[in-house]
Amino acid sequence: MTNNNQGIFLVIALMLYVNISFAQKVSEINFYDNIAPIIYKNCTPCHQPNKSAPFSLIKYEDVVKRAKFIGRVTQSRYMPPFPADRKFQSYLNERGLTVGEITTIKLWIEGGMLEGSEKPVVDSGRSSVPQSNVGSLQSSVFSLQEKVPDLVLKINKPYQILGENIEDFRFFSLPSNTKKDEYIEAIGFTAGNKKLVHHSRLMVDTTNNIREIDGLSETDLKVYEFQKTTLKDEFLYGWVPGNDKISFPKGTGIKLNANSDFILNMHYAPSPVIETDQSEILLFFAKQKVEREVKNFTLRENDISNKPFLIKSGEKPTFYIAKKIEKSISLISVLPHAHLIGKTFRAFVVTPDGEVVNLVKIDNWDFNWQMTYQFKKLLKIPAGSTFIVEASYDNSAENPENPNIPPKDIGYGWGTKDEMLNLVLYYLDYKEGDERIEQSH
Ligand code: HEC
């Protein structure tokens, strides 16, 4: 091939690769036609006012102002955040850009960030955001929270976050005061202080015996007493920035016994000044009869085959769980959980026929981005299958996430500087045809 031919060949290959039509040259990549659809779908759900991200990515100017940074975080795949390996399993709530989308952003920035022209504004009445060339996509992004919850439970009174530049881990008790049993059809969380609420974990207690945990710091000795309580749900829901509400399949729900208490474990980021937070739990109850109860079970520290669950200072152990189930189930979601020194997490199932069903694989465990992974379709796990979990930890001094320098032995505990190994599984008892049920938000 001559040089010239080679050049043309390269440009055509690139155009095909990044999915740009022949009608539109690389030099014509512009915001409204090419970039806005990518941003609205993948970034704006979090990067808009009153959502988790610290700045908005809506208008042309918003994106141009941070273009270099955006190029960098998309190429490194730091944004949009999604810790699980999407080649291992795919999820209803997965995020990620294609190589084509990343390249389109890169070429747009290199080409001088053309604005292009916006198509006529359609006022949907929903938001102040201009309705541009992305139509229905955009309305789907901005309609996520339209449904009104049946019960909103707030932290009792505004909590004063310590202004001492230290991380603050707190428990709160939020009695539901419900008079009858309900079924939770969907559940969500709204951070009161968007800047400082780092993440939260929600538990359900039916004993009503640990209400005094309200407002206690994780390091309070009483917490060690309370953690002996057997909870109905140890991890009903986990919120990290960008985690929207979770909905269960139609006609199913999690049973919430009358008068249950929610126990909220909050992590606040360090702040130099005193600030307040009054976060909320959003509960959506089933209105129709719930035919099937969403159940959960947790594979945990007690189930490991290489006991004890103790991570000696300086060591980098891997713990293994192999647990067989006797009845067929339909898996809705998985939620892997570990604390600061977690490194990798992998879970899969081996069926009696020797088939492998992948659940979740995280190669770079990140304490800050823990989320529920909901499968696109219900996942049938036949009776006699074995769940396998492998989780590794790094308690060496080289681990920048290590909370103790020099390292100390770390064992099980609710505190963030203790460790845990959980895989929380939401499921239904299997019914013929479940594997064809598509889940939705
Ligand atoms: C799930 C919610 C979420 C999504 C989706 C998301 N972001 Fe973010 N983004 C955040 C949060 C929260 C932060 C601040 C915390 C951080 O930097 O880790 C952030 C920070 C950033 C930063 C600053 C990074 C830094 O180091 O300070 C950039 C740039 C950014 N996002 C761009 C994007 C782009 C571009 C997309 C889409 C391709 C995107 N984000 C999608 C939540 C999100």
Q: Closest Cα to atom 32, ligand 1: which residue?
A: 70
Rounded to two decimals, the pTM is 0.82
Candidates 341, 294, 338, 298; CA nearest to 316 is: 341
pLDDT of residue 46: 86
Q: What token pair was written down for 359?
A: 């659940």
In this prediction, residue 123 carries a pLDDT of: 45
CATH class of 147-290: mainly beta
Predicted confidence at residue 6, as pLDDT, reads: 62
Please report the pLDDT score of residue 167 as a whole number.
84
95 lines ligand 1 (CB under 6 A): yes
Residue whose CA lies nearest to ligand 1 atom number 37: 43
Q: Is the distance from the beta carbon of residue 42 to the nearest atom of ligand 1 less than 6 Å?
A: yes
Pocket test for ligand 1, best of 38, 41, 57, 79 (most atoms within 8 A of CB): 79
For residues 284 and 265, give the distance between their C-alpha atoms in angstroms, rounded to a whole number: 21
Give the residue, out of 31, 40, 47, with the most ligand 1 atoms within 8 A of its beta carbon, to mutate for a pocket test: 47
pLDDT value for 69: 96
Instruction: Give the separation between CA 423 and CA 184, rounded to whole angstroms.
Output: 21
pLDDT of residue 137: 42
Residue located nearest, by CA, to atom 8 of ligand 1: 79
- Domain segments of the chain as ranges: 3-142, 147-290, 293-441
3-class DSSP state of 225 = helix
**What's the CATH architecture for 293-441?**
Sandwich (2.60)
pLDDT tens for 122-181 read 444 444 444 444 444 444 444 444 578 999 999 999 999 988 888 899 999 999 999 999
Residues of the chain below pLDDT 70 = 1-24, 119-146, 242
Mean pLDDT of the chain: 88
φ/ψ of 16, rounded to 5, equals -65, -40
Q: Report the pLDDT value the prediction gives residue 246, as an integer from 0 to 100.
A: 87
Each residue's pLDDT tens digit, 253-287: 999 999 999 999 998 988 999 999 999 999 999 99
Closest C-alpha residue for ligand 1 atom 3 = 46
Which residue is closest in CA terms to ligand 1's atom 27?
69
